[in-house]
């Protein structure tokens, strides 16, 4: 697991999440620890490093 820092798409606070780098790629929903809005997190890994990361707001 790696801790990854990024900006919340709702409150623009800098938050971090633990990323499982043993998985090739994953998309899931996790709530922001500051504003509690659901963030769609998608990422890919390469050689146990995060090669791509995106955090998007959920469309209504
Ligand atoms: Zn937030």
Q: How far is CA 41 from CA 46, 50, in A?
A: 17, 13
Instruction: Pull the structure tokens for residue 26.
Output: 């994953």
The predicted model scores a pTM of: 0.88
**What is the chain's length?**
60
* Ligand 1 centre distance from Cα of residue 53 (Å): 17
- What does the mean pLDDT of the chain come to? 96
Q: 57: pLDDT confidence band, cut at 50, 70 and 90?
A: very high
Predicted pLDDT of residue 60: 64
At 43, list the tokens: 């990422």
Q: In angstroms, what is the span from residue 15 Cα to ligand 1's centroid?
A: 8
Q: Are 54 and 41 in contact (CB under 8 A)?
A: yes
Q: Cα(16) to centroid of ligand 1, in Å?
A: 11
Domain that holds residue 38: 2-57
Q: Where are the beta strands (DSSP E) in 1-60?
A: 2-7, 14-19, 25-31, 38-46, 49-57
Please, are residues 20 and 41 in contact by the beta-carbon 8 Å criterion? no
Total domain count, the chain:
1
33 Cα–ligand 1 center, Å: 7
Q: Please tell me the predicted confidence (pLDDT) of residue 40.
A: 97
| pLDDT tens track for 9-56 | 999 999 999 999 999 999 999 999 999 999 999 999 999 999 999 999
């Amino acid at each position: 697991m790696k801790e990854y820092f990024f900006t919340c798409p709702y409150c623009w606070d800098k938050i971090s999440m633990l990323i499982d780098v043993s998985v090739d790629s994953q998309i899931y929903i996790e709530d922001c620890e500051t504003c509690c809005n659901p963030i769609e997190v998608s990422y890919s890994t390469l050689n146990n490093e995060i090669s791509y990361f995106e955090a998007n707001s959920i469309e209504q």
